[in-house]
Amino acid sequence: MSVDWGKIVKSINWTLLMAGVINFGLLLYILKRLLFKPALAFLDRRREQIAARIQAARVSETQAQQLVVERESELRQARERIEGILADARREAEALIAKAKSEAKKDAAKIVADSKHRLEQERDRMIHELREAYAEIAVLGAERVLDREIRIEDHRRLLDQLMEEINEESLRIPS
């Protein structure tokens, strides 16, 4: 089967073909003018808006990162200040404790010294009273001896009695 191109070419309506080509060209021109230019302008505006938003997002991200770095720095500085304050408070507390211990030791030493002093005074007073008691006993013994005529046996008995009284008095005195 062979195609007869000559018949086909003669059967083409050239006027109609030209009118179709002109209409197609006119349609392309109208579409380009009325549809493509506004569509392309819209797409360009949209692309610019998206680019602006992306740029704004990058700027915001950069600012956010800077804020994070600043806040971390401030937080680190605050921690350092807190640690310094705590260290100062610990040192002050230790100093107060040491001072309180020192004062307590001084007070205890003073109390012990005062107690020893009072005990020594009390001991001295008791020794003085004991000496006075010995003197009274000796005087009483001498009076008894002088009041009677003494025989040697009475004299020994009185001395023994006097020694017993002295021993009793010395047992009452704490050492």
pLDDT at 4: 80
Inform me whether the pLDDT recorded for 155 exceeds 80: no
Across the range 61-78, mean pLDDT stands at 95
pLDDT tens digit string along 130-139? 877 877 877 7
Cα–Cα distance, 69 to 110 (Å, whole number): 61
Cα–Cα distance, 161 to 144 (Å, whole number): 11
Residue with tokens 């408070």: 89
Inform me whether the pLDDT recorded for 77 exceeds 70: yes
Q: What are the CB-based long-range contacts (under 8 Å, 24+) for 78-83?
A: none
Q: What are phi and psi of 93, to 5 degrees?
A: -65, -45
Who's near 138: CB < 8 A, 6+ residues apart? 162
pLDDT at 134: 77
Cα–Cα distance, 22 to 26 (Å, whole number): 6
Q: Mean pLDDT over all residues of the chain?
A: 86
Which amino acid is present at 128?
A: H
In the chain, what are the domain boundaries? 14-172
| Most confident by average pLDDT, 35-49, 128-142, 148-162 | 35-49
pLDDT class of 24 with cuts at 50, 70, 90: very high
pTM of the model: 0.41
For the four alpha carbons of 123, 127, 132 and 134, in that order, the dihedral sign comes to positive
Cα–Cα distance, 93 to 99 (Å, whole number): 10
Inform me whether the pLDDT recorded for 151 exceeds 70: no
pLDDT tens digit string along 158-174? 778 877 877 776 666 55
pLDDT at 173: 59
pLDDT at 80: 95
